[in-house]
Every structure is written in C-alpha cells, then in structure tokens.
Amino acid sequence: MSEDCLFCRIAGGEIPADVVAGNDHAVGFRDISPVAPTHVLVIPRAHHPNLAAVAEADPDTLVAMVRLARTIAEADGVGGDGYRLVANTGAAAHQTVFHAHLHVLGGRSMGWPPG
C-alpha cells in the first residue's frame, strides 16, 4: 500500500467510497464523475501503477479484477446488453490516478472507435 495513493486508501477503507463489490484481490466502487449509467472502478487491493504491472506481478489479481467487473456488470443489469472495460495506461492515455484500475461502463450505447 502506498500511503499517498488515493486508491490504496480507498481499498484500505481509509477514504469512503460507494463500494459495490469486492473479493480477496480487488474492490469495485462507483466513479464520482460517471460518464455512463454504470461507471464503476475496479482496483486491485495491492498497489500497482497500471494493468500491465498487475499482469506481470500477479496475474491472478488481473483475472480477479476482470471477474469482479463481470459480476458488477451483471448486478447492474448491463451484463446481457454489453459493457465496456477501459484501462488507461499512462498520462497520454488520460490515466490520472496511477494505481491500476478498470472502468466498467454500461447502460448506454458505446461509440466506436473510442477516444
């Protein structure tokens, strides 16, 4: 855990969040600035700067994150219609919190290409 990391502090329960689901490896909470009716962030409980780092250090956590994202999408009623998982990596990709996270987006039509 990094003491100065916002998401580490949310995962540790130090900062309140609208937590919707969790497992041993990850936690999901609603984004404070949603861009879709379903907009949940899924973060690893351990600090990793991005998803590539999670995959390298602890692939089981990456799998747990994707499974949790599916569980959240199904619970929010968007699992059947479709949902998008977004992982921004690096400042140029608009990653603003450098703790790995997936955005679970659903409940509206998603354009293609994204960005």
C-alpha gyration radius of the chain:
13
pLDDT at residue 114, rounded to an integer: 80
Task: Give CA separation, 45 vs 23, 35, 89, 115, in Å.
Answer: 9, 24, 18, 28
Q: What's the first-to-final CA gap in the chain, in angstroms? A: 31
Catalytic residues: 101
Give pLDDT tens digits along the chain (115 positions).
667 899 999 999 999 999 999 999 999 999 999 999 999 999 999 999 999 999 999 999 999 999 999 999 999 999 999 999 999 999 999 999 999 999 999 999 999 988 6
CA proximity to 31, closest of 88, 112, 93, 102: 102
Domains and CATH numbers, the chain: 6-106 (3.30.428.10)
pLDDT at residue 3, rounded to an integer: 73
The pTM assigned to this predicted structure is 0.95
Neighbours of 108 (CB within 10 A): 12
